[in-house]
Amino acid sequence: MLLNMGPSHPAMHGTTRIMLELDGEKILNAELEMGYLHRGFEKTCEHKTYFNLLPYTDRLNYVSPLINNCGYVMTLEKMLGIDVPERAQYIRVLMCELSRICDHLTALAAMTMECGAFTVFLYNMKAREFIWDVMEQTTGARMTTSYIRIGGVRADLHPSWKETTHTAIDETRKVLKDVSGLLNKNKIFIDRTRDVAVVSPEMAINYGWTGPCLRSTGVSYDVRKAHPYLVYDKLNFEIPLGERGDNFDRYMVRMKEMEQSLRIVEQCIESMPESSSPTQLMAEGIEPADAIKESRSKRTEKRIKLSPNLEGSEKERYKGIMTDSKGQIIPPKEDTYTSIEGLISHFKFFMKDHGIRPPQGEVYFSVEGASGELGFYIISNGTDKPYRLHLRAPCFHIVSALEEILRGHYVADVIPTFGSMNMIGGELDR
């Protein structure tokens, strides 16, 4: 019998269709159809400036958008030869690791819920809320943040970020302990995952697998270790590995990776360089009458009252969170509002055929995304828009193996197997 599973099946998340050839409940053959969430990301980027296409990266892996931001901006920084301040690098690592934990929590929540473990779903969502509190404090958004910018980050950390982060770490550890108690020796969960959908190291490498799915087969490859970026070479963490490459190993590797990410976050808290303290703001700003009377030189010495939306991105903080490469970053708002030079710099940054214009050439850079190696390949023709941009999406390679993996298993095995791969539609289809 031929049977369509998806795209409307709940376990397919509305974005994937699997055509199954069945003999009773046994799967003889499977054909995967994807693309239900395609939005033309790569083609759209050809018509956006390097700065303006940044929010589009948030919509790729929308469960861990900060890692997408980081991968894109670091590719461009490699092309431009930009050095990022150390504090900004630590902030990026902190935010990326929190995003990785969110991603793994969501992946395991969906996988286990679809196997009937609804309690685990609720526990994981509770932990994710505490982590999103940290992100919302600093970035101003819970999900599509657009926080990491070319040359640094948009704003400094929230004044109470340490307390909020410690709370998130403690609550997440409690949840991980509870989930381990619920699932690790649960006979129903083990029967549905152990020795189901086994993938050998050779098969995983042939399909281009990376991330937790590759490491579940016993292959020790992590971009953070193999090709260190930011400050990962200064941090101590381990790479958890599986033994059999089955659904249970893919679950366990993600559980252990979350603990390692919490270790990294704790090290970032301890090693984070201190922020440059901003001078006292004028409560009222510059009064129009005073501005007319005073000379231009004296006016520029005064501070204006910035919008609350710009908190953390004051001029004094730029030294720690943004590169000093002129023409590659937006000037501080204080300069834009109080000097003609700053206003011109701001206009030129956003004007057509001005702004960020990398030299002609091509560049590839990758980071360790939550699902695997997330790489951006950009070709520049010297203008302010990329000539071509390609995303190396880890989901695409992992899901490509699904057809071969499912053969010989049963219809019920499709759900935990598909869930263990952590397919994210925005990244897979783009």
pLDDT classification of 96: cutoffs 50, 70, 90: very high
Question: Does 241 map to a domain?
Answer: yes
Residues linked to residue 20 through DSSP beta bridges, in sequence order: 3, 30
pTM: 0.89
CB 370 within 8 A of CB 336: no
**By CB neighbour count within 10 A (0-12 exposed, 13-18 middle, 19+ buried), where does 21 fall?**
middle
- What mean pLDDT do residues 2-30 have? 89
pLDDT classification of 302: cutoffs 50, 70, 90: low
- What is the pLDDT at residue 247? 93
Question: Does 303 map to a domain?
Answer: no
- Report whether pLDDT(295) > 50: no
Residue type, 191: D
Nearest to 124 by CA among 141, 142, 140, 102: 102
Question: Does 243 map to a domain?
Answer: yes
- Report whether pLDDT(253) > 90: yes
Question: Does 201 map to a domain?
Answer: yes
- What is the pLDDT at residue 285? 44
- What is the pLDDT at residue 102? 94
Question: Does 344 map to a domain?
Answer: no
What is the number of domains present in the chain?
A: 1
Percent residues over pLDDT 70 in the chain? 93
Tens digits of per-residue pLDDT, 101-153?
A: 999 999 999 999 988 889 999 999 999 999 999 999 988 888 888 899 998 99
CATH of the domain at 227: 1.10.645.10
Report the mean per-residue pLDDT for the chain. Answer: 88
Q: Which domain holds residue 105?
A: 2-275+358-429
- What is the pLDDT at residue 303? 63
Question: Does 308 map to a domain?
Answer: no
Question: Does 299 map to a domain?
Answer: no
Contacts of 335 (CB under 8 A, 6+ apart): 315, 341, 342, 345, 346
Question: Does 67 map to a domain?
Answer: yes
pLDDT classification of 277: cutoffs 50, 70, 90: low
- What mean pLDDT do residues 171-193 have? 93
How far is 161 from 155, CA to CA, in rounded Å?
13
The three-class DSSP label of residue 359 is: coil
- What mean pLDDT do residues 232-261 have? 93
- What mean pLDDT do residues 23-30 have? 92
Residue type, 385: K
